[in-house]
Structure 1
Amino acid sequence: MFTGIIEELGEVAAVTPAGDSVELTIHGPTVTSDAAHGDSIAVNGVCLTVTGVSGARFSTDVMRETLDRSSLGALAPGTPVNLERAAQVSDRLGGHIVQGHVDGTGEIVRRVPGERWETVTFSLPEGLTRYVVEKGSITVDGVSLTVAAVDTASFDIALIPTTLELTTLGRKNVNDPVNLEVDIIAKYVEKLATSAPGVTS
């Protein structure tokens, strides 16, 4: 489990094809400081398993399923990535409950700068709209964010200076892809409501 509070802006060091998967090597001194084989690290919001650690770099295998359902297939050496280690039970939950299981990908539709912040509009894949509500939580490339506005095909986020500076969201351009994870609580509520006795969908 993660909280969506990015610990470090890392960088892809290598992308090595391995049949129908790839091995990613990522530079991230903070997240590798106590990393070990088998640990979980979220890369742009995707929960990945550490397969090796060498100095300030860690390696991880990314299967075809993950490449197909996320934007990780577009990563190349030198690409910045958002990194977060799995939460510890004793941690403050500064964001919201994040699993690192991507529900779909969207794109940046527009960016509107303000005096100290920026409003960014993201496209929303069909089928995810029902889980996104104004003032609710959503994870974009692993960053826990509050929805400022939502319609049937997109949602707006107001990004504060800290988020713009310390995550990839301050560096991405219009049409760039992003990984989206909706609030898991919304999906559980839907499941419980539709499976309750006497309720038909």
Structure 2
Amino acid sequence: MFTGIVQGIATVEKVTAAPGLSTLVIRLPDNKAAGITIGASVAINGTCLTVTRQDNNDLYFDAMQETLQCTTLGDLQAGHEINFERAARIGDEIGGHLLSGHIHTTATIAEIVKTENNVTLWFEVPAAWTKYIFTKGYIAINGASLTIGEVEGNRFNVHLIPETLRATTFGTASEGQRVNIEIDSQTQTIVDTLARLGYDQPPTAR
């Protein structure tokens, strides 16, 4: 499990493609790889991957074809920066909200609005996922736990303070960029349960 509190920005050192998977070499900042062992889970832009090899600050991960197709990891190239979070441990403070590291869909940054003290990012998501997106609800974008601002059709926004921009890759985000989306699990459970009970249907005329 993860908390959605990004622990830093790492750099893609190398991507090696092979039949059915790609191997990603990710360089973590100094001292951030301490204690990581083979088999450990690390969220890379919100996607839970398993460490297969470690060389000092360089971590190796294998991403299967299904993962590459369902996330933005297939877009990564050497030199790209990513958000990372090591798996939560019992007793860790949950500063965001609980995440599984399993990406539901991707979204596109549709608009970036910059003001004096914060930045608002607007995202477009596939219509099928909008039923889980509510104003003031939780969502994880590239592994960062964020609160949804406004929702308009298949678009929604988040408001980012300077610290979030500094600590994540959102500070260098650009319009048209794809991002990974993990829907809040509790929201998804409630919405799906109500749907099975028929409460998502309009009332019938009498």
Q: TM-score, normalised by structure 2?
A: 0.92
1:84-107, Cα deviation, whole Å (9 max, x unpaired)? 001111011100111111111111
Task: Quote the Cα distance in structure 2 between the aligned partners of 1:165 and 1:90.
Answer: 26
Matches within 5 A, 1:15-34: 15-28=15-28, 29-34=30-35
Is the 2:12–2:77 contact (alpha carbons within 8 Å) kept by the matching residues of 1?
yes
Q: Which amino acid aligns with 1:60?
A: F
Is the 2:194–2:200 contact (alpha carbons within 8 Å) kept by the matching residues of 1?
no
Q: Which amino acid aligns with 2:130?
A: T
5+ residue gaps in structure 1? Answer: none
SS at match of 1:51: strand
Corresponding residue for 1:12?
12
2:82 equivalent to 1:81: yes
Task: Quote the Cα distance in structure 2 between the aligned partners of 1:40 and 1:111.
Answer: 32
1:144-185, Cα deviation, whole Å (9 max, x unpaired)? 100011122110110110111111111110001100111011
Q: TM-score, normalised by structure 1?
A: 0.95
With 67-76 and 163-172 compared, the bigger mean Cα shift is at: 163-172
Corresponding residue for 1:168?
169
SS at match of 1:148: coil
Task: Quote the Cα distance in structure 2 between the aligned partners of 1:163 and 1:132.
Answer: 21
Corresponding residue for 2:123?
122
5+ residue gaps in structure 2? Answer: 202-206
Give the CA deviation at 1:200.
8.9
SS at match of 1:88: coil
Q: Residues 133 and 108 (structure 1 numbering): CA distance in 2 closer, same or farther, change over 3 Å?
A: same
Q: Which amino acid aligns with 2:16?
A: T
Largest Rg, 1 or 2: 2
1:40-60, Cα deviation, whole Å (9 max, x unpaired)? 000001000110111011101
Is the 1:12–1:80 contact (alpha carbons within 8 Å) kept by the matching residues of 2?
yes
Aligned residues: 200
Task: Quote the Cα distance in structure 1 between the aligned partners of 2:113 and 2:4.
Answer: 23
With 22-31 and 52-61 compared, the bigger mean Cα shift is at: 22-31
Task: Quote the Cα distance in structure 1 between the aligned partners of 2:166 and 2:160.
Answer: 10
Is the 2:131–2:191 contact (alpha carbons within 8 Å) kept by the matching residues of 1?
no
Corresponding residue for 2:158?
157
SS at match of 1:77: coil
1:105-159, Cα deviation, whole Å (9 max, x unpaired)? 1111111111110111011112111111101111111111000111221101101
Task: Quote the Cα distance in structure 2 between the aligned partners of 1:193 and 1:111.
Answer: 34
2:65 equivalent to 1:92: no
Once the two structures are aligned, what percentage of the paired residues are identical?
36
Give the CA deviation at 1:34.
1.2
1:62-95, Cα deviation, whole Å (9 max, x unpaired)? 0000000011001001100000001111011100
Give the CA deviation at 1:199.
7.3
